[in-house]
Amino acid sequence: MSEETSASRAGPSDGLTAVDWIGACQRIAGAQRKLFDAQRGIAVRTVYEGFGEGGDRALALDRRSEDIVFAELERIAANGHAFTAISEERGEVELGGGGDLRVVIDPLDGSLNARRMLPSYSLSIAVASGPVMADVDLGYVYDFGSGEEYVARRGQGATLNGDALRAEGPGYGLEVVGIESSKPERTLPLLEGLVGKAYRIRSVGSIAISLAYVAGGRFDAMVTGRACRSVDAAAGQLIAREAGAAVEFADFELRSASLSLDARYHVAAALDRELLDVVLEAQGRVEGAVAGNA
């Protein structure tokens, strides 16, 4: 993997220990579960409210999910803690005066799945002591479909529902590969690049969950067909790395992959470096193929 910053190698900052971030994330996930239980059905979930700061059309469900997150963050700030929240819908918001500590949030990763009543969508929250992926101290992903909670602390490993998580598969190479951001025109060159190299393909519809699946050895690798945002990957990439997986952001090292909302990059992860190189080669075909068909 890419070289990390000296700050990353040194371990978590005081910003991780000053607040019970796991407890905060669990309260948020609990409140969101109640929201989703109250809003069931495709019609009620297919209501839009403009565009989020991340550039995507925003569902009312996205907005309500984010409101739950910010209610908890504002409570933390009211208790004397300062940080900058980076969220898909509201953008960058300074709370308690702002500062170097960043909380990177995707309140609903897999919005299309949630809208269509497909069970794979998640809450993704990362806490970072600096501006890049290498500075992420804590990653939290909650899968609402399975009720599974993934947690990673920098330098302390990763867990699934409290049990140690390891990026270890059955050893059959690329038996199962997850593809995300899977528009047909972007999926085709990925599939062509994996012909004869991968046995089966799966598309979950949530980058955070796919990264967590690599962390637990459920996927041998995952790869995006479209550049993602920091909010999609910040928590999941730490979970995968702390579980022992190899993770890479195309054209960026961990120390240069920004956490800002306007940053865009492809992400790939695999159980080991050899498998990662295979999916990175396939990923490299995408932009050229799309440009050639424009």
CB of 243 within 8 A of CB of 157?
yes
Return the H-helix or E-strand segment holding 196: none
**Banded model confidence at residue 291, pLDDT cuts 50, 70, 90:** low
**Banded model confidence at residue 79, pLDDT cuts 50, 70, 90:** very high
pLDDT at 53: 67
Spell out the residues 6+ positions from residue 213 whose beta carbon is closer than 8 angstroms to its own: 178, 204, 219, 222
- Phi-psi map region of 123: left, alpha, beta (phi>0 left; psi -120 to 50 alpha): beta
Higher pLDDT, 79 or 15: 79
Query: Could you give the strand order of the β-sheet that contains 148-153, starting from the edge strand earlier in sequence?
Result: 91-95, 83-87, 102-109, 122-128, 136-143, 148-153, 157-160, 163-164
Q: What is the mean pLDDT of residues 153-176?
A: 97
pTM of the predicted structure, to 2 decimals:
0.91
pLDDT digits (tens, 9 = 90+) for 89-142: 899 999 999 889 999 999 999 999 999 999 999 999 999 999 999 999 999 999
**pLDDT of 26 over the 70 cut:** yes
Residue 97 CA to residue 82 CA, distance in Å, equals 6
Joined together, the tokens standing for residue 6 give: 């000296």
pLDDT digits (tens, 9 = 90+) for 216-245: 999 999 999 999 999 999 999 999 999 999
Q: What is the mean pLDDT of residues 189-204?
A: 96
**pLDDT of 153 over the 90 cut:** yes
CATH topology of domain 174-292: D-Maltodextrin-Binding Protein; domain 2 (3.40.190)
Q: What is the mean pLDDT of the chain?
A: 91
174-292 matches 6-164 in CATH topology: no
CB of 229 within 8 A of CB of 261?
yes
pLDDT digits (tens, 9 = 90+) for 35-49: 999 999 999 999 998
pLDDT digits (tens, 9 = 90+) for 43-73: 999 999 877 666 677 899 999 999 999 999 9
**Which CATH number is 6-164's, of 3.40.390.10, 3.30.540.10, 3.40.50.360, 3.50.50.60?**
3.30.540.10
Q: For the chain, which residues make up each domain, given as ranges?
A: 6-164, 174-292
Spell out the residues 6+ positions from residue 81 whose beta carbon is closer than 8 angstroms to its own: 18, 19, 96
